[in-house]
């Protein structure tokens, strides 16, 4: 049975991945890695099969990855609104002191990759974001964090690590039902540069979680990096994605 560590397990997408894996306990043993005991208890109703720690701590990661064959990285820096914006003004964002993209999306992800290599993890699935080819992407100016650039650097590091990888760069994440849409894969931010007709560059978090889980066992998802969006639900001539091999077959290995 595949033993899997999911980091960012209390995050909005990470928690979906953990919950979905928990329903497939014949095939997978899932361990969740979170920062807060209370948050784990609140989301999952139990703390069994969870480890509490920080991705900046090698010690915490070593303990969490013990005996695992696969690592799913769903940690990310999260910008916070700087107070309530004045009327007519745009909200401003900032990152907590120890939660900047450089610290979380670069040092934290690098740390996870280094420890994974040390303990013999065979496959890492990393969920990131589209937009990393454009240094002037508006997300980079949020809190002066250059978030997409640090995420991209971690992706490059993972590819160079020698561990099998699957890098999923999602479009804008939606909290909408999953399993009802046709998913589209791309590369080099082609969806952002020339969006397909009538298709927003977004995807439900649950569909990202389903893609992560399908990638655990699909040979065509190994050593691949791709952008991921979805057609809207009931989009004309669309076909709900069920054939994961067919989807992954269209992806490529380069960044």
Q: Which residues are catalytic?
A: 129
Exactly one of 39, 110, 176, 180 binds ligand NAP (CB under 6 A); which one? 39
Determine, following the binding rule CB under 6 A, whether residue 55 of this chain makes contact with ligand NAP. Answer: yes
Site mask, ligand NAP, residues 127-146, x = CB under 6 A? Answer: xxx-----------------
- DSSP codes joined into one string, 221-254: GTTEEEEEEEPPTT-TT------HHHHHHT-BS-
How many whole angstroms separate alpha carbon 157 and alpha carbon 100? Answer: 18
| Minimum distance, C-beta of residue 58 to ligand NAP, in the bound complex (Å) | 12
- Is there binding between residue 14 and ligand NAP (CB under 6 A)? yes
Please state, in angstroms and rounded to a whole number, the distance separating the CA atoms of residues 105 and 100. Answer: 8
Q: Is 225 in the site for ligand NAP (CB under 6 A)?
A: no
**Contact (Cβ atoms closer than 8 angstroms) between residue 211 and residue 146:** no
**Which residue of 74, 121, 142, 221 would you call a contact of ligand NAP, by CB under 6 A?**
74
Q: Is 99 in the site for ligand NAP (CB under 6 A)?
A: yes
In the complex, least distance from residue 143 CB atom to ligand NAP, rounded to whole angstroms: 13
Minimum gap (Å) between residue 35 Cβ and ligand NAP = 4
Out of 5, 8, 106, 181, point to the residue binding ligand NAP (CB under 6 A): 8
Q: What gap in Å lies between CA 11 and CA 76, rounded to an integer?
A: 9
Closest approach of ligand NAP to the CB of residue 99, in Å: 6
- Does 199 bind ligand NAP (CB under 6 A)? Our answer is no
Q: Determine, following the binding rule CB under 6 A, whether residue 10 of this chain makes contact with ligand NAP.
A: yes
201 binds ligand NAP (CB under 6 A): no
Residues within window 152-171 making contact with ligand NAP, judged by CB under 6 A: 170
Near ligand NAP in 232-251, by CB under 6 A:
none
- Please tell me the distance from the alpha carbon of residue 27 to that of residue 152, in angstroms, as a whole number: 32
d(CA 246, CA 239): 12
Considering only 6, 51, 104, 225, the residue that binds ligand NAP (CB under 6 A) is 104
Least CB distance from residue 227 to ligand NAP, whole Å?
A: 10
* 172-174 and 123-129 beta bridge pairing: unpaired
Around Cβ 15, how many Cβ atoms within 10 Å? 22
* DSSP letters spanning 105-167: IIIIHHHHHHHHHHHT--EEEEEEETTTT-TT-HHHHGGG--HHHHHHHHHHHHHHTSSEEEE
Among left, alpha and beta (phi > 0; psi -120 to 50; other), residue 229 is beta
Binding site for ligand NAP (CB under 6 A): 8, 10-14, 34-36, 39, 54-56, 74-76, 78, 99, 104, 108, 127-129, 170, 172-173, 205
């Amino acid at each position: 049975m595949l033993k899997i560590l999911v980091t960012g397990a209390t995050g909005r997408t990470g928690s979906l991945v953990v919950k979905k894996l928990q329903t497939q306990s014949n095939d997978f043993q899932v361990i969740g890695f979170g920062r807060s005991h209370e948050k784990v208890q609140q989301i999952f109703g139990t703390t069994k099969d969870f480890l509490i720690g920080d991705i900046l701590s090698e010690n915490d990661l070593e303990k969490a990855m013990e005996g695992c064959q696969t690592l799913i990285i769903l940690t990310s820096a999260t910008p916070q609104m700087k107070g309530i914006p004045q009327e007519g003004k745009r909200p401003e964002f900032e990152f907590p002191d120890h939660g900047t993209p450089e610290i979380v999306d670069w040092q934290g992800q690098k740390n996870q990759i280094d420890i994974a290599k040390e303990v013999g993890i065979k496959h890492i699935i990393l969920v990131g974001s589209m937009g990393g080819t454009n240094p002037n992407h508006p997300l980079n100016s949020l809190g002066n964090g250059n978030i997409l650039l640090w995420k991209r650097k971690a992706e490059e590091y993972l590819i160079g690590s020698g561990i099998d990888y699957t890098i999923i760069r999602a479009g804008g994440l939606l909290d909408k039902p999953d399993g009802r849409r046709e998913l589209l894969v791309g590369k080099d931010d082609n969806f952002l540069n020339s969006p397909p007709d009538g298709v927003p560059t977004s995807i439900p978090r649950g569909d990202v979680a389903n893609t992560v889980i399908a990638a655990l066992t699909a040979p065509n998802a190994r050593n691949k990096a791709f952008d991921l969006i979805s057609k809207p639900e009931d989009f004309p001539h669309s076909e709900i994605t069920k054939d994961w091999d067919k989807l992954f077959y269209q992806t490529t290995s380069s960044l």
